[in-house]
Structure formats: C-alpha cells, structure tokens
A and B are shown apart, each in its own frame.
Chain A
Amino acid sequence: MSGLLNYLILLLAAAFFSPHLIKKGGKAAPWLLGLVSAGGFGYLLSYAKFIAAGNTLNYTIEWLPELYLNFTLYLDGLSLFFGLLVTGMGALVLVFSGKYMEPYPLKHRFFFLMLLFEFAMLALVLSGNLFTMFIFWELTSVSSFLLIGFNHEKPEARNAALQALLITFAGGLAMMAGFIMLGQMAGTLEINQLLQSGYLIRSHPHYLPALLLILAGAFTKSAQFPFHFWLPGAMQAPSPVSAFLHSATMVKAGIYLIARLSPVMGGTPEWRYILTITGAITMLLGAYFAFSQTDFKKVLAYTTISALGTMVLMLGIDTDISVKAAIIFLLVHALYKGALFMVAGLIDKSVGSRDLRKLGGLYRVMPKTAIAAIISLLSMAGLPPMIGFIGKELIYEAKFAMPDIGNILLVAGVVTNVFMVAISLALIFNLFLVPLKYPGKKPKPPALALRIGPLLLAALSLIFGLFPAQVAQLLLKPAIIAIHPSIDTLKLALWHGFNEVLLVSFITVVAGIAFFLLYRNINAALTRFNSNVLHFKFVSAFNRGLDLFIKLTKKKTSFIQSGYQRYYLMAIFLMTAGLAWYQLIYTWQSWGTFVRPGMLEVILVMILVSATLFAVTVKSRLAAILSLGVAGYSIALIFIIYGAIDLAITMLLVETLVLVLFMVVVYHLPKFSNLSSEASRFRDAIIALLVGGFMTGLVIKSLQLDLSPKISEFYTENALALAFGKNVVNVILVDFRALDTLGEITVLAIAAIGVVALLKLKTRKGSAT
C-alpha cells in the first residue's frame, strides 16, 4: 500500500522537476512526463484484480488521532476507478500539451501546474480520511485557479479564474464544516470506518445540516445549478486544461464525493430530493444553453455541465440500476469529452479559430482526427455501437424504475438527450462534412502528439461499446459495489432486446435528427428567446454581489478603523464594561460586611477623592499634576495604615520623582486647552463612570472569595529558614521571585534608554529642539 504513497511522492517530485525538464529536455520532455503518469496508470491497474476480488487497502499515518486527523490512503473499487481516470487522462493530456503549448514562453510553469494538479487529484481520490481529502480538494481548486488564469495578461482569464476560485473555495469551506460535523457524529473521519456507521449518521439530528454543507462543496466543484456558471468561464484556460480539469477529472471530484458518501449519507428522502432536483435542473439547463453557443469549447462546457447534472441525478435516485448508470456514464463522458476538448484545442491550433460559424469541412484536412471526433460525438449522442449508447440506455432504465417522480425525470432526460443528439449531429456535419471553410491560411494536418489522445479515447469509446463485458467486470463492478455493496451482477451489452427503453431511445434519436434538420431556425429562435426573456446573467449577478460585498466591507472597515485613538479606546471600554456589568449583575451576591472605618481613614479617603476630582477638572496643568501627587501620597498613607511599609516608602519616593520630572518638562509642554465639546465630555464621563462602577463591583465581589490556603503561607514559613530574611515582602522580591525583579529592572533600563534616545535624538527637519 505504501507503494501508492511512493507513487504520489514521485508525482509531486516530477511536478517540481518538470520546469527544468521542459526547459532543457526539448521535444522528448512531455513524452517523459506522460510516461510518469502512464506508469501510475499501469501501477494502479496492477491492483485491479486484487480489488475486483473484493479486497480493499488502507494505509494510515497518524497525525492527530484525537481530532480524527490522519493521513490515510484508501483503495477500493471507486478510488481505483477514479485513480485510473486521473492517471490515464493525465498521460494523454500531458503528451498533447507538449505540442499544444510549444509556442508559449511560460510552458514550463504550465507543466508544473498540470502535474501538481494531477498529484492533488490522485491524492484526493485515494484519500481515506475526509480531512486528507479536504486538503487535496483545496489544492485542486488552487491549481485550477492558476491554470484558468494561465493567460494572465487577458483580463477575462483573470476574472474567470478568480470567479472559479471564490466559488469552489466557498463550497470547500462549507464542505469542511460538514466534514467536522460528520466527524462529531461518527467519532471518526476515516472513510473505511465511516462506511460502517451510516445508520448512526443518517439518524443523527445534525444529519441534514451536515448533508447540506457537504453537498455545497460537491455542487460548487461539480458546477451544479446555481453554481454552474464558473465552468464556461473556465474555458479561458488552454485547451489541455479544459480536457483534463474541467471535463474529465476535477469537476468530477464532486461526483466522487457524492458517490463516496452515498453509503454513509445516502438513501434518505432529503438526499434523494436534493440530488435529483439539482441534478435534473443542471442537466436540462446545460443541454439547453449548449445548443445556442457558437464557441466550440463553450458548447462542450455546457454539455459537460449537463453531463455532471445527469450523474448527480443518477446518484440521487440511488437505486442499483441508477448507480450503475452513474458510473458507466462517468466513464462514457470522460472518454468522449476528453477527446472532444483535445480536438477543440487541435482545431484551434491548426485552423486558428473555435468559432463554429467560421469552420467547416475539416475532414478533408485532418481525416483521422475527424474520425476520432465523429466517434466521440456519436458516443455523446448516445448512438450505437459506442459505449455512450449503453450509458444512455441505463440512464433511461433507471428513470423508468424510479417510483414517484420518474416520469418527470424521464421527460427531462429525453429533452436533454434530444438536445445532445442535435448538438452532436450539428457538430459532425458543420465541422467536418460540409464543404471546407476556414478563416485565415490553409490549415495543416495536426502533429502526432496532438492526435494520439483523441484517437486513443475515441477507440476506447468504440471498443468498450462493442466489448463492454471485460471492463465491466474488472473496473466498473468494483466501483459500483463500493457505492452499493448489495449489487452482485453487472451485465452490459449493446443489445437489450425490444423494450420500452429502446423505444424511448428511438424517439430521442428521431427527435434529435428533426431538431438538427431545423438547427438554423431553432438556433435563431432560441438566441432571440434567450436575449429577450432570459435576461438573468449568473456571471454579472455574481460580480454585482462581489462588488456589493467589497463596498460593505469598506464601509464597515472605515467605520471601525476610524483612525482616532479615543474611539478605539471607547470601543474597548464599552465592550469590557458591558460584559463585566452583565456578569456582575448576573452573579451578584452581597455587599459583604461593612466595617466602620476610623476617622483617619475617612479623612485620607476624602483627600484622595477631592484630589482626584480636582485633577480631572482643573484648568491649570500645574494644579493637575500637583493634585495627582496629592492622590499618590494619600495612597501611600493608606498603605502605611494597613501595614505595607515597603509599599509606602516606594510609593513616596516614586511620587516625588514623578513630580520632579513633571516639573522639569512642564514648561516645555502646551497649556491645557479645551479641545472637546460639552456633549462629548458628558459622554466620556458616563463611560468613565461605567468602567469605574464595575471595577468597584469587582473589588467587592473578589473580597468575598476565600483564597485559603494562600501561596504566601509558604513564603512566610520559609522566609527565614531558606532565605534568611525577616521582612517577607523583601524576601519575596529579592529571593523567591527574584526573576520578576530582574524583569522589572530590565523594564526600567529599557525605559531609561528610551528616554535618553528620545531626548538626544535630533529632528531631521530641524524643527525647534
């Protein structure tokens, strides 16, 4: 099992080494990197038999088991299936990128990011702990952000990248909260343990909030309505990125998460309704919008959204047949969509445009690529003998078998597929079969490195369609069993015999062809409809929301961060007073016993009080300073009365020193002036009394605390025996707590240095000193 960890480390090392390799390695470098990825594919494939026999692997490095945080890798049918998808697609895309990215000066950076993504994505699907998964989940978001914004000199690319990042990160944060709740419920975040505690979690009162939070993560990542709009924007990325991240792998992370947690959280009515409704809306919207696009990549992006919606819908229905359909459709989609995105990039590269209105008849220029594209498009349309046909048949079957809202879903599915058939046929005819049409100079046939990916994927679409049994037994069945352990058979075939499913398929195809024949008219009508009726633009709504948020934040910040010292102090005082008063009133017990004070004390207190009031209100600075001194001396006298001789001596000395110091500088200081208004002085007096009041209450409350046994009993007992001193206060200062005194001396020294520095320092602008 640690072999998987070693491979992950190898992949990460390859990522960091790749910039150097690309710079120095020439044409062979991308092939080499592709080989690293293909090696991972082969390595994972070597586990296939073992996993198909019903085994799983778990490898844990404990980090903080008390908080369920571990680094765990877990390999079962589902993660193996996704792992093969990631490494296999990675190998093809890396080779494709080698040629595609040739003219880019920053291509070494591109390869680093692609490999970093591949590492993160593979680690995500192999994670056996939800926290491990979360980390890699976010890492895929970061690498996606950097790759969408790869053409960073284009403002659209930067905006699209930021938008994708904000949406996926917001979802990721929600998901993390959901994971934490899940951990609290089950007492673990390990996937193999969570799989055992499904009942506990589903019957827990916090089930629904946790489900919603986790689904927020899955839906944002997998571009489900209403978060779907970041995916078409992500088409700003170079085509290899679209093929790899935004169709075949990263956007399927949400699907993976839903599938992974299906045995833990699935099967409840909440699960069923949220997933089916979201999935169905996304599926329909994606297909509808795909139909009226003119940019080849945008068409593919919207059909991807539609396909992701279909997968969520299938996992939501959560029957044996629907889970089978979801996994098979996932494979189908990865095969044809990966190929088509590469074809889109290839056409863009060799013809110089992706605008469907400017292209045509490309079969004459690139026959092999055209055949690969046509096979893939037929698979997308769900026509035999491609594997897409099997996928679509299963989806229909699952909808037929769904009890309550199956009919509505079936209609939605048929409508979606009619669009898909029409889009596929329109692409086949307009791109490849009509007379040759291209902008600019005559296109050249594409290089092998560009062709190999689409050709291989298209071949797989065809081979898996003709001979589905092997791949079904070895890879698909274990993946499906990981979601629904009760499934025991998986039989795939092109020919199911005459039944209602075949009839619906037939109707779909006929309607799709009719749609295609009326393509131009319908397309024009739809475009008019869209611009007149569907005014609502998700992207601009998102941007408006973002602007509003930033404005609010600015207002809030300039309100709180006023820049005036006294407002900060006021906030601190008011907060403290508010909290302390609340506690005081809430826990008040008594005033304690009142001991009649002696005459001397009363006189001292009266002097202290009047000196204080005088210092606060007097206009003359000299009088204020002197009355402060009077207050200080009164406190010293109180110390004497209550037996604190050392304190009194120190206090008297310090007060005298401070007075002398003040006198020295006072003539260099400005006269008191009344800067604030009557009203603000009144307000400050109230704040002051609030603070003073709770301090009084605090003293009275703390006098009622019983502090015995006191720490000082130790000092009293040992002062003479250990420190050979009779004055306990002095002994504490110079012996028991001598380090405190050392600190005190240090503070004094620093203050002295500061004073000297301040007084000696010459002002730079030569103002009066």
Chain B
Amino acid sequence: MEILLAIVVGLLYAAGVYLLLRRSIVKLILGIMFFSHATNLLIFVVGGLHKGQPQYTANGIAAVANPTDPLPQALILTAIVIGFGITAFFLALMYRFYQTTGTEDLDDMTEGENL
C-alpha cells in the first residue's frame, strides 16, 4: 500500500507542477492546491501507515497496540488549515487581478518589465 500511495503522491505533485506551469491564473491556483494535497499526503505516508488505529492514550501508554505516529498528524493538521488560508487569499487575489487587468494570462504581466 505504501508504494501505491507513494505513486499517488508523485502523481499529485506532477499535477501541481503541470498546472503551475500554465499561463492561466485559474490553473495556477489549482496547481497550488494540488501541491498542498500532495504535501499533506506525503507527510502522512512518510510518518508510517497503521490501519484503523486512532491515537488515544490512557495512563501514559497507548490505548491500542502499534498506534499511528501522532506528530505527523499534528503537523498535517496545521498544514491543512494554513493551506486553506493561502487558498482563500489567492482566490481573492486572483479575483482582484482579473477585475483590474481584464486578463487571465500571466504572460501579460511581464509587459514593460523585460530588461
């Protein structure tokens, strides 16, 4: 299963990279969201997979045998929320960008900036 999920992580990253390299600004934001999905899954898989074992504790020892590592989960939780913040901000920025410039083509932004 780990290998399968590793391939999925790679695929998600590939999707993110491909979308980031588009000229359309809408696709750019989709790419960023794929990146954040991919990273969450990456940390999760690397932290070790243990089927159906939630992290509960009683009296200082794990309540179940062979539990999942709680630390990567805590990190991912933070990452998901921050990813959400970035997505919301980016959406607003994109909306604003389109309203102001009337274009979705990122290449149009380089006008007058070429050396």
Q: Is A718 an interface residue (CB 8 A)?
A: yes
Judge whether B113 and A720 touch: CB under 8 Å. no
> In the docked arrangement, what's the CA distance between A621 and B85, Å?
21
List of B residues within 8 angstroms of A716 by Cβ:
55, 57, 60-62, 67, 70
Partner pick for B92 among A647, A700, A759, CB 8 A cutoff = A759
Q: Is A646 an interface residue (CB 8 A)?
A: yes
Secondary structure class of chain B's binding surface, majority of residues: helix
Partner pick for B54 among A643, A662, A685, CB 8 A cutoff = A643
List of B residues within 8 angstroms of A592 by Cβ:
2-3
How many residues from B make CB contacts under 8 Å with A? 92
Of A215-223, A252-260, A634-642, the segment with at least 4 beta carbons within 8 Å of chain B is A634-642
Judge whether B102 and A676 touch: CB under 8 Å. no
CB distance from A258 to the nearest CB of B (A): 44
List of A residues within 8 angstroms of B65 by Cβ:
none
Interface string of B28-68 (1 = CB under 8 A from A): 00100110011011101110111111111111111100011
Judge whether B20 and A661 touch: CB under 8 Å. no
Partner pick for B81 among A564, A615, A650, A767, CB 8 A cutoff = A650
Interface hub of B44, B81, B114 (most chain A Cβ within 10 A)? B81
Within 8 A of A (CB), among B58-115: 58-63, 67-71, 73-74, 76-78, 80-89, 91-96, 98-100, 102, 104-107, 109-110, 113-115
CB distance from B82 to the nearest CB of A (A): 5
Partner pick for B15 among A594, A605, A688, CB 8 A cutoff = A688
> In the docked arrangement, what's the CA distance between A609 and B9, Å?
10
Known: A647-B44, A748-B81, A767-B100. A564 touches B110 (CB 8 A): yes
Judge whether B84 and A654 touch: CB under 8 Å. yes
CB distance from A651 to the nearest CB of B (A): 6
Q: Is A497 an interface residue (CB 8 A)?
A: no
Q: Is A294 an interface residue (CB 8 A)?
A: no
A732 closest partner in B (C-beta): B74
> In the docked arrangement, what's the CA distance between A693 and B17, Å?
12
Partner pick for A557 among B20, B88, B102, B115, CB 8 A cutoff = B115
List of A residues within 8 angstroms of B8 by Cβ:
605, 608-609
Judge whether B73 and A646 touch: CB under 8 Å. yes
Judge whether A638 and B5 touch: CB under 8 Å. yes
Judge whether B58 and A639 touch: CB under 8 Å. no
> In the docked arrangement, what's the CA distance between A732 and B60, Å?
14
CB distance from B51 to the nearest CB of A (A): 6
A712 closest partner in B (C-beta): B71
CB distance from B22 to the nearest CB of A (A): 7
Known: A643-B67, A662-B91, A675-B23. A761 touches B96 (CB 8 A): yes
List of B residues within 8 angstroms of A733 by Cβ:
74, 77-78
Please give the residue numbers on chain B whose beta carbons come within 8 Å of chain A beta carbons, in ascending order.
1-24, 26-27, 30, 33-34, 37-38, 40-42, 44-46, 48-63, 67-71, 73-74, 76-78, 80-89, 91-96, 98-100, 102, 104-107, 109-110, 113-115
16 examples of A-B residue contacts, CB within 8 angstroms:
A563-B110, A597-B1, A605-B5, A615-B30, A647-B40, A692-B10, A696-B9, A703-B45, A703-B46, A716-B60, A719-B60, A726-B63, A732-B71, A747-B82, A748-B85, A761-B96
Q: State the 8 A-B residue pairs at the shortest beta-carbon distance, nearest first.
A: A692-B14, A696-B10, A751-B85, A699-B6, A692-B10, A688-B18, A597-B1, A563-B110
Q: Known contacts A628-B33, A703-B48, A719-B60; can you find 8 more A-B pairs with CB under 8 A?
A: A602-B4, A628-B34, A644-B68, A647-B80, A698-B42, A712-B70, A721-B60, A747-B85
